[in-house]
Structure 1
Amino acid sequence: MTTNTRSDRDVVARRASTAAAVGTAIEYYDFAIYGSLAVVLAKLFFPATQGFVALLSTLGVIAGAYVIRPIGGLLFGRLGDRRGRRTVLLATVALMGIATTLTGLLPTYASVGVAAPILLTVLRLLQGLSAGGEVGGAVSLSTESSPSKRRGLFGSATSIGVAIGLAGAAAVVGTVSALTTAEQMAAWGWRVPFLIAAPLLVAAVIYRLKVEDSPLFLQMVEEAAPPKAPLTEVVRDHKGGLFRLIGLAYSTLTTGALASIYLVVHLSGVLKYSLSSSLWLTVLIILVPIGIIPWAGALSDRFGRKRLLATGMVGFVVLSVPCFWLMQQGSLALAVVAALILNVPFAIQQGVVYTMYAELFPTRVRYSGVSLGFNLGGIIGTGTASLVAASLVAATGVTIAPAFYAVFAAAVGLLVLLAIHESSGKELASGVAPAAADAPVTPAVPTPADR
């Protein structure tokens, strides 16, 4: 009987983790194709005479999409804590996919003038709104469906979705770029990666329809009414957890963006490697995180989340400057080696941090807490990483300047870790019974044990 219980729970965990990965894959596929095509889109959606300013404007649209994410987090987080994770995740993935597909149908600046960048921005904001509720729900669903002793492993699925989305985007854009001339790419080739989101959307919705809701959420609503104002509870009772999550999100999202999607802009736009080579390099370096992420998640179940996450952050402090220096030596082979090395600490962080997010809040307000904190951290993290990095290069003329920004972000994360208690192996709190604020990993209500 014990074996069957463990087996059944593992099946639920695997389904929930796969559903979480599917949604985040689409979210980061969209984010990555926009970033990968930034050099091309800048010439199509902004006046060609603006040159580098047009590139900065294109990257600025990414930042704008992140500004609206907290609003999406508040909206979908409230619904997720009151109505359940599954239903809301269906809505977020559908909205994201539709916005991405419509981007591929937009007219350019040459066709409609200033309306083109406006429409582009509107769709990016719509995508940002829906994406604001995606990660909080995916993290909640995967971790709440997992056995406590294997939560790090199953919780890493969200990060695997991120890596798959980034790699898939780079592969698609790289293939289209290789099969088209520069003129064809500007005329119609750039649309293909966005339009591919349509079949991905259908597949994601079909799979999420087959997944049951989080067992911990269902247990919680049987024992008490869902929170009427989850955001109020987060701000009132879990301020410490919220600020810690914002700090972790800023640190890991900034370093992760600089080690992955920004490299396409840096290698092609700053160091002048070919766009096609830069994109395929991105595919290659993302294979490293896909292999390391679940391994890091499993190790965090054994050795602790803090130890693994600190290892990744120290890696960025030590390796960022040498790796960016290698990239600018004029050798694509050296650039490949440098990028691969830099993505090892990125993968370690990704394998651990999403599970840590969930462990900072009780089930009662987890969706809202993770959504709000992650998206606020994302505004100043991923949302501005490429823009800040490109601006540093433009302002200083120093092509390794982004490396110093990565070191700073990693140092911030190490400071935040000092204020976080180890949470691996402990049951997730429900928040139903009275509990001390900012103690989310204390088992307030007994949950099915991993016997």
Structure 2
Amino acid sequence: MESLAPAPPAQAIAVLPRSSILVAALSTVVEWYDFTLYLYMTTVLSRVFFGTGSTSLLITLAVFAVAYLMRPLGAMAFGHIGDRLGRRKVLLGSMAVMTAAMLATALLPTHDQIGSIAGALLLLLRCVMGFAVGGEYTGVTAYLVEGAPPHRRGLVASLASAASEIGALLAAGVAALTVTLVPGPTLDAWGWRIPFLFGTLLATTVLIARSTMRESPAFEQQPPPDTKGAGPLMTTVRTQRPALYRTFAISALGSVTYYVGISYVPTYLGAVSGFSESDALWLSTIAALVVIVVTPFVGALSDRVGRRPALTLFGALAVILPPAMFGLMTQGSFAAALTGAVVLACMAGGISAVAASAIAEQFPVAQRLSGLALGATAATALFGGLTPYASQALVDSTGWALIPGALVAVTALAVLPVLRRLPETAPAIRAPQPGHLAPEPEPQAR
């Protein structure tokens, strides 16, 4: 397929063909389908794998949190491979592991069949999935930023965020259809397997499509790595500490707004607001659909106004909006709950859209995946995987229904000063600044 730009002269960094960009951008569907599906099916999975005890829901959320702690380990392993051997190998390897883990989950025996061993097997497979996902989103965003036209990096990288919302939408829709159409006893017996089997088919399709992708042109034009010196991880720790801190802060905000403001919402609507499983899932489906439309516009906006202004604006909104929106969702009205869910989802989607390019742009090509592993993925593990569990545990222990919104607001308040001092990385408007990142060679017209 024809390239997005004319072939550059020697020493210039080429852009990827449209086919590779499209496959990479859309393939984040699988990662977010799986992890969002788990949260959307939490109440069902708690019964299937941990019985009907009073602690089953919290244990199921704890499994999600523990598995998420595997992400930094996977990110470091895949990051080392990606910075040494190339982005394409990472994207193929992580998707292959995800496909196998999702199929194995769909075939698991239940608590009624083998007792507590079922929950242990679920935890094991979630850890395998978490390890594989560690190489996914950071690998995709780095690949897109390195292969996109410089003035479109925000837009192109945001497509990965939009595609992740498509994954979330698919998860919500498939989960809602399954819960709505399959009777309760049948759902607990075998119906819960349907969404995971669908995910396996989706992952297999993406794996085949990824086999057609070209290697990142920026990586190909790097000098061969020094295999005798310090590895990419140690080099990154030594030379990129300010970038690691900034990336951690941006990703902490993106993770807490997404996993509390989008992924946890169906559980919240059912456990706190009293909505049925079916209604809660349909509300979340509508919210995910809105975010898919909004995300590319926010990514394009960041190309025009810069990453720092866009992130600062959404950071300020994350301080103000979440407590009010969670308050709306407790009123018992479908319209109020929908308003709260949509506003939270748009806020989280906007932050993710800008963060996709902003975090990758913090690092030079040679240490990019390692930097994202140490900064972004570590923040995601703490502020993504743990926050749904923490939100539900705090609501249960305090009885205060607005705790999830307060959790988001406090995190945003802590991150906001970092965002205000963020060096601008949007190539179209960035000016060289002493001590800041050196710009990468850009594509040149003939």
Q: Same fold (TM over 0.5)?
A: yes
Q: Is the 8 Å Cα contact of residues 244 and 419 (structure 1) preserved in structure 2? A: no
Distance 1:343 1:48, change over 3 A: closer
Task: Give the structure 1 partner of residue 383 of structure 2.
Answer: 381
Task: Give the structure 1 partner of residue 138 of structure 2.
Answer: 136
Task: Give the structure 1 partner of residue 325 of structure 2.
Answer: 323
State the TM-score, normalized to the length of structure 1. Answer: 0.92
Q: Trace 1:204-219 onto structure 2 (pairs within 5 A).
A: 204-219=206-221
| The one of 351, 367, 370 aligned to 1:365 | 367
State yes or no: 1:57 paired with 2:52: no
Q: Is the 8 Å Cα contact of residues 252 and 409 (structure 1) preserved in structure 2? A: no
User: Deviation per CA, 1:114-169, whole angstroms, max 9, x where unpaired?
Assistant: 21111000000000000011122101110000111111111112211211111110
Q: Is the 8 Å Cα contact of residues 165 and 288 (structure 2) preserved in structure 1? A: yes
Q: Trace 1:384-423 onto structure 2 (pairs within 5 A).
A: 384-423=386-425
SS of 1:241 mapped into structure 2: helix
What are the ranges of 5 or more consecutive residues in structure 1 without an aligned counterpart?
429-435
Alpha-carbon distance in 2 for matches of 1:391, 1:146: 42
State the TM-score, normalized to the length of structure 2. Answer: 0.93
How far is the alpha carbon of 1:217 from its aligned partner? 0.6
Alpha-carbon distance in 1 for matches of 2:262, 2:71: 21
Alpha-carbon distance in 2 for matches of 1:112, 1:5: 54
How far is the alpha carbon of 1:395 from its aligned partner? 1.1
Task: Give the structure 1 partner of residue 441 of structure 2.
Answer: 446
* Identical-pair percentage: 34
How far is the alpha carbon of 1:17 from its aligned partner? 3.3
SS of 2:27 mapped into structure 1: helix
* Residue type of the alignment partner of 2:398: T
User: Deviation per CA, 1:195-250, whole angstroms, max 9, x where unpaired?
Assistant: 1122112210121111101111111136x657750001110000111121112111
Q: Is the 8 Å Cα contact of residues 36 and 173 (structure 1) preserved in structure 2? A: yes
* Residue type of the alignment partner of 1:236: R
Alpha-carbon distance in 1 for matches of 2:205, 2:252: 31
How far is the alpha carbon of 1:437 from its aligned partner? 11
Paired positions, count: 438
Q: Is the 8 Å Cα contact of residues 109 and 115 (structure 1) preserved in structure 2? A: yes
* Residue type of the alignment partner of 1:439: H
Alpha-carbon distance in 1 for matches of 2:208, 2:84: 23
State yes or no: 1:19 paired with 2:14: no
How far is the alpha carbon of 1:310 from its aligned partner? 1.5
How far is the alpha carbon of 1:323 from its aligned partner? 1.2
Task: Give the structure 2 partner of residue 201 of structure 1.
Answer: 203
State yes or no: 1:341 paired with 2:336: no
| The one of 264, 281, 284 aligned to 2:283 | 281
Distance 1:365 1:437, change over 3 A: farther
How far is the alpha carbon of 1:438 from its aligned partner? 7.1
SS of 2:214 mapped into structure 1: coil
How far is the alpha carbon of 1:11 from its aligned partner? 7.6
How far is the alpha carbon of 1:396 from its aligned partner? 0.9
Alpha-carbon distance in 2 for matches of 1:202, 1:242: 34
Alpha-carbon distance in 2 for matches of 1:298, 1:97: 32
* Residue type of the alignment partner of 2:214: E
Q: Is the 8 Å Cα contact of residues 63 and 384 (structure 1) preserved in structure 2? A: yes
State yes or no: 1:46 paired with 2:68: no
State yes or no: 1:112 paired with 2:92: no
Task: Give the structure 2 partner of residue 31 of structure 1.
Answer: 35
Alpha-carbon distance in 2 for matches of 1:92, 1:75: 11
Alpha-carbon distance in 1 for matches of 2:414, 2:217: 35
SS of 1:196 mapped into structure 2: helix
Greater CA drift, 29-38 or 337-346: 337-346
Task: Give the structure 1 partner of residue 272 of structure 2.
Answer: 270
Distance 1:107 1:220, change over 3 A: same
| The one of 230, 233, 239 aligned to 2:232 | 230
How far is the alpha carbon of 1:417 from its aligned partner? 1.0
SS of 1:48 mapped into structure 2: coil
Distance 1:438 1:368, change over 3 A: farther
Alpha-carbon distance in 2 for matches of 1:362, 1:22: 25
Q: Is the 8 Å Cα contact of residues 45 and 109 (structure 1) preserved in structure 2? A: yes
SS of 2:295 mapped into structure 1: helix
Alpha-carbon distance in 2 for matches of 1:228, 1:161: 36
Alpha-carbon distance in 1 for matches of 2:417, 2:322: 18
SS of 1:448 mapped into structure 2: coil
How far is the alpha carbon of 1:18 from its aligned partner? 2.4
Alpha-carbon distance in 2 for matches of 1:4, 1:30: 32
Q: Is the 8 Å Cα contact of residues 62 and 124 (structure 1) preserved in structure 2? A: yes
Alpha-carbon distance in 2 for matches of 1:198, 1:7: 38
Greater CA drift, 73-82 or 242-251: 242-251
Over 4 Å off, 4+ runs: 7-11, 224-228
Task: Give the structure 1 partner of residue 149 of structure 2.
Answer: 147
Q: Is the 8 Å Cα contact of residues 154 and 299 (structure 2) preserved in structure 1? A: yes
Task: Give the structure 1 partner of residue 11 of structure 2.
Answer: none
* Residue type of the alignment partner of 1:39: T
Distance 1:241 1:370, change over 3 A: same
Q: Is the 8 Å Cα contact of residues 322 and 405 (structure 2) preserved in structure 1? A: yes
User: Deviation per CA, 1:81-128, whole angstroms, max 9, x where unpaired?
Assistant: 111101210110111121112111111112111211110000000000
Alpha-carbon distance in 2 for matches of 1:146, 1:234: 24
How far is the alpha carbon of 1:342 from its aligned partner? 2.1
State yes or no: 1:350 paired with 2:352: yes
Task: Give the structure 2 partner of residue 74 of structure 1.
Answer: 76
